Amino acid sequence: MRRFSASGLISALTIVLPVVSLISMTVGTVSISLGELFAADNSQVNTILFDIRLPRILLAICVGAVLSSTGAVMQGLFRNSLADPSLIGVSSGASVGASLTIVAAGGLITSGALLGLSLVAVGAFVGGFVATLLVYRLATSDIGTSVTTMLLAGIAIAAIAGALNSLLTYFSDNDMLRQISLWQMGNLSGASWTKVAIMAAVVVLLLSLFPRDSHGLNALLLGESEARHLGVDVQAVKRRLILLTALGVGVCVALAGLVGFVGLIIPHIVRLAIGPDHRWLIPASALAGATLLVIADSLARIVVVPAELPTGILTALLGAPFFFALLLQQRKQV
């Protein structure tokens, strides 16, 4: 295994991300050349660029950054490079919340909007947060939070959520069914400037608070008691990081549905490239996740023109083969 320099990767991604985003501005059902991009005076082109594509790209950047950075944090916290943010129950809870809202609110969904956000988003966020709190409570006793119990509780919550989801789909009509399954595939097409503003605030919050616990996460990789002996307040670190992850992923799922795989593979790949030091891993994962999601979303817009695919399908289709390749490579090395 050879490592790349962390600062090198971060600088490279800082250049690649804007370039990819710029290209992404030009593609879609209506193709707009780079020249038109800068000299756009046509109001129709302007609308496409600044009311549809730009918020969508910015949303992709924010969602990608949050999912990947929280993925890196969860993998560190659980000391397992195959953990992802959904392990703490937030995704399963959110999907139940969303399905419940779709079924309960029925026809209200399309018309009723709260602060420009759909009711489904609120339902998903509440569901995700409640599930995480439940998992965290279950796993926390007088002697601290047991990571193993959290993993198991997360699995149990996912099972319950799966059952509830099936139950809800059973009672749904055709229209609701389509909404539920579209939501579960993850989609960035509903981007608006309000959503971008909320997501951006979450990105700023997370990326400014995570560095504080980078050392703690590094120490935790040695084991909990080792981290304690290195002066890390393990319980406080866990509480902070789980709360921030639940918030970040909750908002992501609420605004963009279930975009799978980004939170799992991006931190994993970045770790293979630059090593497990969280001081670099978290920002590099955020940048890489943002880049991947912009690429995936651009593809989602052009592969089946004039229609478009849900983004979540593309992230899995792009990510999974890459992951297979990594596993094969690792197998050779052992």
Partner 1 sequence: MTMLADNISLHLSGFDLLRNVSIEVEAGKVTAIVGPNGAGKSSLLKVLTGEMEPTKGSVSLNQQPLSQWRPQQKAQMLAVLPQHSILNFPFTANEVVGLGRIPHQTGSIKDGQIVAEALELVDASYLQKRFYTQMSGGEKQRVQLARVLAQIWQPCELGKQFLVLDEPTSAFDLSHQKLTLDIVRSLADRGVGVVMVIHDLNLASRCADNLVVFNGGTIEAIGSPEAVLTEQLIDKVFEVKSIIARHPVSKKPLVIT
Which residues here bind partner 1, judged by CB under 8 A? Answer: 1, 79, 81, 215, 218-219, 221-223, 225-226, 228-233, 271, 275-277
Q: Strand 117-118 to strand 144-145: parallel, antiparallel, or no bridges (unpaired)?
A: unpaired
Q: Give whichever of 36 and 277 is closer to partner 1, judged by the CB atom.
A: 277
Q: Which is nearer to partner 1, 75 or 118 (CB)?
A: 75
Shortest distance in whole angstroms from residue 244 CB to partner 1: 21
Please, which residue, 178 or 212, has the CB nearer to partner 1?
Answer: 212
Question: Would you say 195 or 271 has its CB closer to partner 1?
Answer: 271
Provide, rounded to whole angstroms, the least separation between the CB of residue 221 and partner 1.
5
Closer to partner 1 at the Cβ: 133 or 221?
A: 221
CB of 235 to partner 1, least distance (A): 10
Least distance CB 267 / partner 1 (angstroms): 11
Q: How far is the CB of 273 from partner 1 (least distance, A)?
A: 11
Which CB atom, from 26 or from 140, has the smaller least distance to partner 1? 140
Q: How far is the CB of 329 from partner 1 (least distance, A)?
A: 14
Q: How far is the CB of 225 from partner 1 (least distance, A)?
A: 5
Q: Which is nearer to partner 1, 125 or 280 (CB)?
A: 280
SS (H, E, C) the chain: CCCCCHHHHHHHHHHHHHHHHHHHHHCCCCCCCHHHHHCCCCHHHHHHHHHHHHHHHHHHHHHHHHHHHHHHHHHHHCCCCCCCHHHHCHHHHHHHHHHHHHHHHCCHHHHCEECCEEHHHHHHHHHHHHHHHHHHHHHEECCEECHHHHHHHHHHHHHHHHHHHHHHHHCCCHHHHHHHHHHHHCCCCCCCHHHHHHHHHHHHHHHHHHHHHHHHHHHHCCCHHHHHHCCCCHHHHHHHHHHHHHHHHHHHHHHHCCCCCHHHHHHHHHHHHHCCCHHHHHHHHHHHHHHHHHHHHHHHHHCCCCCCCCHHHHHHHHHHHHHHHHHHHHHHHC
